[in-house]
C-alpha cells in the first residue's frame, strides 16, 4: 500500500456544484443514480474548451451500470474502470455526468458506505465511505449541494431520511413502494452525506434560536427505545443554547435529526442535519446507563452538534487537516461539559484520558503530529492525538488569547471561511489576526509530534528577596522527527507562601505585581524567570489547570506535595500533587518488590487520604478523583521497562493498606452517601455516587482478609441487589467480578437474565468479565466469544469483550505465557476480513510492545509479524502492524 503525503496536496481539477442522488433500496440490490453538475476548477487554469484534463472519480466495491455525459450514454470504450476509480480521459469544461451503480449493502460488514443494521439501511461516509455508494470526487475540498430521492418498500422502510429539509413525499404506490426527497441547501463535502431508512420511532421537541427561528428536533430510535431518549434531547437543547451564548452560533436548517443505530464503528457522525449515532451515545435511563454513560451522551451529542459550524459550515481542505475540525470541536465539547458540571472535575478527567491514551501514542511507533504528514489509511488517524491533543492545542490558543480574544478569533474565522474547506494554518491565522498575538512559533505544535518535557528548578535568594525559576524544555525523538525545535508553551503558575496563600506575582522589570496566577511564555530551550519581592521561599504551583500537554518535572519534596495537596488554590494542581506523590511512592514500592524488600505504604500518605475522605467541605466528585490511585497504565508509563506484575501487585497492596487503615471512615462514607436517593443526573448527585462507589471499591479490597472483609461483601452484594441506578449496580458487580466468591456467579447470572434484551447493558456484562483480574479470565473471554449474545460483526461487542480484555486488563492480557497476545492476534485477523476499522483499533494494542521486558517483547513481536505476513491484510491493519514493527 502507498502512503499519501500532505506535501503532495493539489486542488481538484474539477468541481461539482450539485448532486442529484436517487436511491432504489432493495433487499438484494440497491441501485444508485447520481447526476453531477461538474465544471473544471477555475482556480487552476483559465477555463478552456477542452476542460481540465482527465477526470478520475473515486469508487470501490460497486458494480458500475452506466455512465452518461450531457445526456449521451457513454460506450465503455469512452471511460475506464479500475478497482477504485472511474476515469474519463478528457471531459469538457462544463457538463452533466450521470452514473448508475449497484450495491449490496447487506454484504457490507465494514460499516463504511451504505450498510444494514437491524434490518434498516444506514450510511457512514467519513472519511471515504461515499465512494462505496457512487463514483465521486470523494475529498473534502469538493463541496456540492445535494438533493436525495429515496424509494423503498413502504412497509419495511416507512421512515426514509437524508440531509437537509424534506421537500417531497409520495404515498404508497401500487407496487408497495414509496418515495421521499430531501434537499440540503448548504454545500457540503461528500463525507457529510447521510441516508437512513427503516422502521424507526422518534421523539420530538423544538428549539427557538436567539434570533427567533423555530427548529424541529427529532431523535429516531428502534421501537422500544423511546423511553431512553430524553437525556439526549435535553443535551441537544443545552448544546444549541450554549453555542448561541458562547459563540453566537445558531443552527441553520429547519430540522435537526439524530438517528441511533446499534452497529456503528465509532461514537457518532455529524452528517449535515442528520447525525447518526451509536446507540451507546443516545440511549440512557437511570436503570440502564451509568453516570459515565450519561455524561458521554451529553458530550457526544454536544460534540456532533457543534460540528455543524466547526466542521460542516467550515470544513477541512484535506484529511491532514482533520484536527482543524476535531481538535476544535473536542475543545468546544469539553468547555460545554465544564460549564454544565464542575470545571476542575472535568479537567481532571480530560487530563487523565490524555495521559492514559495520548501520551503513550505520542511516545510510540504511531506518534504523529496533530496535523500528520502522511498516512496509508486515513481512518487510522482518527486518533487521540488528532482529537485530544488537538483540543489541548486549541486550549493553549485560548489561554494565550484569553476568552475574549479567542472569541474574536472565532468570529474572524467564520467571517473569512464560512462555506469553505480550509487548513489548520487558516485557523491559526484568524486567531493571530484577530488579536495581534504572535502565534508564529506556536505553529510548531501542528507539525512536531511527541510530548514535550519541562524540567523546572527554583532558587530563592532570601537577601535579594527574589525567586528564580529555570525552565528547560525538550522533546524526545519520534518517527521521522529526530530533532525538535522549542515549542511555545503557556506555563500557568502561582507561588504559595508558607501560609498556603498565593503570593502577588511580579517579574523583574515590572512596575507592579500582576495577579497571583499568571501565564509565562516559555519559548526557548532554556529560560529563566525572576520574581521579585519574594520574602520567603515559596512553594511553586506549576502548570496550573494543566496549561499545556507536557510532562513536567520539578523537585518538590514529599512535604511540598502534601502542602500543595492541602493548600493550592488551583484545584487541578491539588489533585495533581496527590497523584505525583502517589506515583512516587508506588514506583518506590515496585522497586522494593523487585528487590525482595517488604512493602510498606507511608503512614503520612494514608493520613493525607484520610483527611480528604473526611473533609466535609470537599466536593465529593473531586474527593473521589483525589482518592483514586494512579492507574496501572500510568504507572507503567513512568518506568523504562514496564513491570506488569509488580505494578499490579503494588497497586492492589496500596488499596488494601488504605482500606485497612481507613476502614471505618470508608464504611461511614459509603453509608452516608448510600441511601437510595431519588435519581438525578446533576454534578452533585454524580459526585456523591462516585465517592460512595470509590469507598465500596476500597472496602472490597479487604474481601480476601477474612472477617474484616465480610462486611464489605455484604455491603457490595446488598448494593448489587437493591440499587436502582446502573452506576451503583455496575460498581458492585465490577467488585464482585474480581473475586472468587459464590456470589460472583449468582450476580453475573442475575444481571444477564435481567438485561439480556438490552444490548448496551449486555456490553457492560461482557466488559466486566473481560476486565476481571482473576487468573482464568482469558479462558472465560474465549468462552464468551461463543455466547449467544456475542456478535463479532457488532463493534460495540468487540470493544466490550476483546477491547475490554486487551485494553482494560493489563495483568491478564500481558500474562507472561503469551496466551493473551495470541488471542488478540487471532481476533485481529478475523476482524480484518470483516471490518478493517475495528480490526485496526484492536491491533493498536500491540503498538507499545517495546516498552516491555524481552520475553514479552518477543511474544508480541511474533504476533505482529504473524499479522503482517497474513495475505489479504487491509490497509488499516497493515499500516498499524507494519509501523509498530519499524
Ligand atoms: N467525525 C466523526 C468520526 C468519523 C470517523 C471515521 N473513521 C465523529 C466525530 O468526530 O465527531
Ligand atoms: Zn468530531
Pick the last residue of a domain from 564, 589, 614: 564
Give the pairing type, strands 453-461 and 421-422: unpaired
Pocket flag, ligand 1, residue 838 (CB < 6 Å):
no
Mean pLDDT of the region 88-109: 96
530 and 485 within one domain:
yes
Question: What is the 389 CA–ligand 2 centroid distance (Å)?
Answer: 13
Mutate which of 112, 264, 269, 297 for ligand 1 pocket (most atoms within 8 A of beta carbon): 269
Pocket flag, ligand 1, residue 184 (CB < 6 Å):
no
Write the CATH number for 288.
3.30.2010.30
Q: Residue 48: its pLDDT value, please?
A: 55
Q: Is the dihedral of CA 343, 348, 351, 353 positive or negative?
A: negative
Beta strands in 323-393 (DSSP E): 374-375
Least confident of 31-45, 232-246, 827-841: 31-45
Q: Residue 46: its pLDDT value, please?
A: 62
176 and 147 within one domain:
yes
Q: Residue 85: its pLDDT value, please?
A: 98
Among the options 222, 304, 335, 758, which is catalytic? 304
Beta strands in 572-700 (DSSP E): none
The ligand placed nearest to the CA atom of residue 127 is: 1
Residue 717 clears pLDDT 70, i.e. is over it: yes
Mean pLDDT of the region 787-805: 98
Q: Residue 704: its pLDDT value, please?
A: 79
Domain count, the chain: 5
Write the CATH number for 434.
1.10.390.10
Q: Is 789 exposed, middle or buried (0-12, 13-18, 19+ CB in 10 A)?
A: middle
Residue 534 clears pLDDT 90, i.e. is over it: yes
Could you give the CA distance from residue 548 to residue 540 in angstroms, rounded to a whole number?
17
Task: Provide, rounded to the nearest whole percent, the portion of the chain with pLDDT above 90.
Answer: 97
54 belongs to a structural domain = yes
In eight-state DSSP terms, residue 600 is -
In eight-state DSSP terms, residue 672 is H
Confidence bin at 709 (pLDDT 50/70/90) = confident
Q: Residue 453: its pLDDT value, please?
A: 98
Write the CATH number for 64.
2.60.40.1730
Residue 708 clears pLDDT 80, i.e. is over it: no
- According to DSSP H, which parts of 627-682 are helical? 632-637, 644-661, 663-673
Q: Residue 51: its pLDDT value, please?
A: 67
Write the CATH number for 558.
2.60.40.1840
Mean pLDDT of the region 475-487: 98
In degrees, to the nearest 5, what angle opens at C-alpha 334 toward C-alphas 238 and 344?
Answer: 105
Question: What is the 667 CA–ligand 2 centroid distance (Å)?
Answer: 42
Mutate which of 188, 189, 268, 332 for ligand 1 pocket (most atoms within 8 A of beta carbon): 268
155 and 25 within one domain:
yes
Confidence bin at 79 (pLDDT 50/70/90) = very high
pTM of the model: 0.98
Mean pLDDT of the region 418-428: 99
Question: What is the 382 CA–ligand 2 centroid distance (Å)?
Answer: 9
Mean pLDDT of the region 310-332: 99
Question: What is the 266 CA–ligand 1 centroid distance (Å)?
Answer: 7
440 and 347 within one domain:
yes
532 and 421 within one domain:
no
655 belongs to a structural domain = no
442 and 466 within one domain:
no
Pocket flag, ligand 1, residue 127 (CB < 6 Å):
yes
Pocket flag, ligand 1, residue 378 (CB < 6 Å):
no
158 and 39 within one domain:
yes
616 belongs to a structural domain = no
pLDDT digits (tens, 9 = 90+) for 653-673: 999 999 999 999 999 999 999
pLDDT digits (tens, 9 = 90+) for 206-223: 999 999 999 999 999 999
Contact partners, residue 452, CB within 8 Å, separation at least 6: 473, 474, 475, 484, 487, 489, 548, 549, 550, 551
Mutate which of 193, 266, 388, 795 for ligand 1 pocket (most atoms within 8 A of beta carbon): 266
pLDDT digits (tens, 9 = 90+) for 577-625: 999 999 999 999 999 999 999 999 999 999 999 999 999 999 999 999 9
Residue 12 clears pLDDT 80, i.e. is over it: yes
Q: Residue 674: its pLDDT value, please?
A: 81
Cell readout for 720 is: 448489587
Residue 147 clears pLDDT 90, i.e. is over it: yes
Could you give the CA distance from residue 227 to residue 175 in angstroms, rounded to a whole number?
35
Q: When comparing pLDDT for 172 and 52, which is higher?
A: 172
Pocket flag, ligand 1, residue 368 (CB < 6 Å):
no
Write the CATH number for 845.
1.25.50.10
Pick the last residue of a domain from 508, 540, 564: 564
213 and 187 within one domain:
no
CA proximity to 778, closest of 741, 747, 823? 823
CA proximity to 550, closest of 575, 528, 518, 522? 522
Pocket flag, ligand 1, residue 304 (CB < 6 Å):
yes
Question: What is the 126 CA–ligand 1 centroid distance (Å)?
Answer: 6
Pocket flag, ligand 1, residue 814 (CB < 6 Å):
no
Confidence bin at 44 (pLDDT 50/70/90) = confident
Pocket flag, ligand 1, residue 98 (CB < 6 Å):
no
Pocket flag, ligand 1, residue 128 (CB < 6 Å):
no
Question: What is the 683 CA–ligand 2 centroid distance (Å)?
Answer: 24
379 belongs to a structural domain = yes
103 and 140 within one domain:
yes
Mean pLDDT of the region 343-350: 98
Q: Residue 52: its pLDDT value, please?
A: 74
Question: What is the 39 CA–ligand 2 centroid distance (Å)?
Answer: 31
The ligand placed nearest to the CA atom of residue 326 is: 2
Residue 71 clears pLDDT 70, i.e. is over it: yes
Buried b (16+ CB within 10 A) or exposed e, 627-656: bbbbebbbbbbeeeebbbebbbbbbbbbbb
422 belongs to a structural domain = yes
Q: Residue 676: its pLDDT value, please?
A: 65
Pick the last residue of a domain from 146, 165, 198: 198
- According to DSSP H, which parts of 66-166 are helical? none
DSSP string of 84-95, one letter each residue: TEEEESS--SEE
> Can you tell me the ipTM of this complex?
0.99
136 and 23 within one domain:
yes
284 and 166 within one domain:
no
662 belongs to a structural domain = no
Q: Is the dihedral of CA 577, 529, 449, 268 positive or negative?
A: positive
Mean pLDDT taken over the chain? 97
The ligand placed nearest to the CA atom of residue 268 is: 1
674 belongs to a structural domain = no
Cell readout for 832 is: 480484518
338 belongs to a structural domain = yes
Give the containing element (helix H, strand E) for 533.
none
Cell readout for 504 is: 502577588
Cell readout for 650 is: 503494588
Q: Which residues pair with 540 in a beta bridge?
A: 495
Whole domain around residue 555: which residue ranges? 453-564
pLDDT digits (tens, 9 = 90+) for 549-582: 999 999 999 999 999 999 999 999 999 999 999 9
Question: What is the 241 CA–ligand 1 centroid distance (Å)?
Answer: 23
Mutate which of 258, 382, 383, 875 for ligand 1 pocket (most atoms within 8 A of beta carbon): 382
Residue 49 clears pLDDT 60, i.e. is over it: no
Pocket flag, ligand 1, residue 379 (CB < 6 Å):
yes
Pocket flag, ligand 1, residue 326 (CB < 6 Å):
yes
443 and 540 within one domain:
no
**704 noted as active-site residue:** no
**What's the alpha-carbon Rg for the chain, to the nearest Å?**
28
Question: Which amino acid residue places its CA nearest to atom 8 of ligand 1?
Answer: 269
Mean pLDDT of the region 60-68: 98
Amino acid at each position: 500500500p502507498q502512503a499519501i503525503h500532505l506535501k503532495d496536496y493539489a486542488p481538484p481539477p474539477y468541481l461539482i456544484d450539485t448532486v442529484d442522488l436517487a436511491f432504489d433500496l432493495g433487499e438484494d440490490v440497491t441501485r444508485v443514480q447520481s447526476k453531477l453538475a461538474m465544471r473544471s476548477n477555475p482556480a487552476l487554469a483559465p477555463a478552456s474548451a477542452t476542460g481540465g484534463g482527465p477526470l478520475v472519480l473515486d469508487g470501490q466495491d460497486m458494480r458500475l451500470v452506466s455512465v452518461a455525459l450531457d445526456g449521451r450514454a457513454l460506450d465503455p470504450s469512452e471511460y475506464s474502470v479500475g478497482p477504485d476509480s472511474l476515469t474519463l480521459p478528457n471531459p469538457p469544461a462544463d457538463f452533466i455526468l450521470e452514473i448508475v451503480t449497484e450495491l449490496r449493502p447487506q454484504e457490507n460488514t465494514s460499516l463504511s458506505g451504505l450498510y444494514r443494521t437491524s434490518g434498516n439501511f444506514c450510511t457512514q461516509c467519513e472519511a471515504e465511505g461515499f465512494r462505496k455508494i457512487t463514483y465521486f470526487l470523494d475529498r473534502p475540498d469538493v463541496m456540492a449541494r445535494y438533493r436525495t430521492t429515496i424509494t423503498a418498500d413502504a412497509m419495511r422502510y416507512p421512515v426514509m431520511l437524508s440531509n437537509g429539509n424534506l421537500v417531497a413525499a409520495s404515498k404508497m404506490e401500487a407496487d408497495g413502494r414509496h418515495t421521499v426527497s430531501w434537499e440540503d441547501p448548504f454545500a457540503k463535502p461528500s463525507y457529510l452525506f447521510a441516508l437512513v431508512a427503516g422502521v424507526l420511532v422518534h421523539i420530538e421537541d423544538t428549539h427557538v434560536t436567539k434570533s427567533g427561528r423555530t427548529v424541529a428536533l427529532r431523535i429516531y430510535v428502534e421501537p422500544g427505545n423511546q423511553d431512553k431518549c430524553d437525556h439526549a434531547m435535553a443535551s441537544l437543547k443545552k448544546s444549541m443554547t450554549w453555542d448561541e451564548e458562547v459563540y453566537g452560533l445558531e443552527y441553520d436548517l429547519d430540522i435537526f435529526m439524530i438517528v441511533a443505530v446499534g452497529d456503528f464503528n465509532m461514537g457518532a457522525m455529524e452528517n449535515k442535519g442528520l447525525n447518526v449515532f451509536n446507540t451507546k451515545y443516545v440511549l440512557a435511563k437511570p436503570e440502564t446507563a451509568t453516570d459515565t454513560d450519561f455524561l458521554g451522551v451529553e458530550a457526544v451529542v454536544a460534540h456532533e452538534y457543534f460540528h455543524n459550524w466547526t466542521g460542516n459550515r467550515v470544513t477541512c481542505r484535506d484529511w491532514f487537516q482533520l484536527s482543524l475540525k476535531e481538535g476544535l470541536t473536542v475543545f468546544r465539547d469539553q468547555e460545554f461539559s465544564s460549564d454544565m458540571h464542575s470545571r476542575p472535575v472535568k479537567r481532571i478527567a480530560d487530563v487523565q484520558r490524555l495521559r492514559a491514551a495520548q501520551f503513550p501514542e505520542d511516545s510510540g511507533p504511531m506518534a504523529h503530529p496533530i496535523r500528520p504528514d502522511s498516512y496509508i489509511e486515513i481512518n487510522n488517524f482518527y486518533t487521540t492525538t488528532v482529537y485530544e491533543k488537538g483540543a489541548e492545542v486549541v486550549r493553549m490558543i485560548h489561554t494565550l488569547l484569553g476568552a475574549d480574544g479567542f472569541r474574536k478569533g472565532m468570529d474572524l474565522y467564520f467571517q473569512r471561511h464560512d462555506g469553505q474547506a480550509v487548513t489548520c494554518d487558516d485557523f491559526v491565522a484568524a486567531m493571530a489576526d484577530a488579536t495581534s498575538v504572535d502565534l508564529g512559533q506556536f505553529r510548531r505544535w501542528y507539525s512536531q509530534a511527541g510530548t514535550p518535557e519541562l524540567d523546572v528548578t527554583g532558587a530563592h535568594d532570601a537577601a535579594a528577596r527574589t525567586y528564580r525559576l529555570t525552565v528547560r524544555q525538550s522533546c524526545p525523538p519520534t518517527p521521522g522527527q529526530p530533532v525538535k525545535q522549542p515549542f511555545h508553551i503557556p506555563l500557568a503558575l502561582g507561588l504559595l507562601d508558607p501560609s498556603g496563600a498565593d503570593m502577588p506575582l511580579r517579574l523583574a522589570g515590572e512596575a507592579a505585581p500582576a495577579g497571583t496566577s499568571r501565564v509565562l511564555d516559555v519559548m526557548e530551550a532554556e529560560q529563566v524567570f525572576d520574581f521579585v519581592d519574594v520574602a520567603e521561599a515559596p512553594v511553586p504551583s506549576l502548570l496550573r489547570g494543566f496549561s499545556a500537554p507536557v510532562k513536567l518535572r520539578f523537585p518538590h519534596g514529599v512535604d511540598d506535595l502534601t502542602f500543595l495537596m492541602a493548600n493550592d488554590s488551583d484545584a487541578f494542581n491539588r489533585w495533581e500533587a496527590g497523584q505525583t506523590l502517589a506515583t512516587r511512592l508506588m514506583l518506590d514500592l515496585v522497586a522494593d518488590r523487585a528487590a525482595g524488600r517488604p512493602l510498606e505504604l507511608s503512614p503520612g500518605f494514608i493520613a493525607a487520604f484520610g483527611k480528604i475522605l473526611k473533609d466535609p467541605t470537599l466536593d465529593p466528585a473531586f474527593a473521589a478523583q483525589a482518592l483514586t490511585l494512579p492507574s496501572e497504565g500510568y504507572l507503567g508509563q513512568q518506568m523504562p521497562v514496564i513491570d506488569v506484575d509488580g505494578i499490579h501487585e503494588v497497586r492492589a497492596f496500596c488499596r488494601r493498606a488504605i482500606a485497612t487503615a481507613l476502614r471505618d471512615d470508608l464504611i461511614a462514607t459509603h453509608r452516608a452517601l448510600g441511601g437510595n436517593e431519588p435519581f438525578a443526573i446533576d454534578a452533585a448527585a454524580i459526585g456523591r455516587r462516585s465517592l460512595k462507589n470509590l469507598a465500596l471499591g476500597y472496602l472490597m479490597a479487604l474481601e480476601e482478609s477474612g472477617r474484616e472483609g465480610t462486611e464489605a461483601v455484604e455491603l457490595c452484594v446488598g448494593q448489587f441487589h437493591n440499587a436502582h441506578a446502573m452506576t451503583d449496580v455496575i460498581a458492585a458487580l465490577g467488585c464482585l467480578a474480581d473475586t472468587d466468591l459464590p456470589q460472583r456467579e449468582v450476580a453475573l447470572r442475575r444481571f444477564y437474565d435481567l438485561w439480556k434484551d438490552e444490548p448496551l447493558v449486555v456490553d457492560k456484562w461482557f466488559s466486566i468479565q473481560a476486565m476481571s483480574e482473576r487468573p482464568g479470565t482469558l479462558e472465560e473471554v474465549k468462552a464468551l466469544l461463543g455466547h449467544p449474545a456475542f456478535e463479532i460483526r457488532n463493534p460495540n461487542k468487540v470493544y466490550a469483550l476483546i477491547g475490554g480484555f486487551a485494553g482494560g486488563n493489563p495483568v491478564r492480557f500481558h500474562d507472561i505465557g503469551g496466551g493473551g497476545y495470541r488471542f488478540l492476534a487471532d481476533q485481529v485477523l478475523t476482524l480484518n476480513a470483516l471490518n478493517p476499522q475495528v480490526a485496526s483499533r484492536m491491533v493498536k494494542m500491540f503498538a507499545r510492545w517495546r516498552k516491555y521486558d524481552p520475553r514479552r517483547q518477543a511474544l508480541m513481536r511474533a504476533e505482529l509479524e504473524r499479522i503482517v505476513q497474513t495475505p489479504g491484510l487491509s490497509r488499516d491493519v497493515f499500516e498499524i502492524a507494519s509501523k509498530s514493527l519499524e
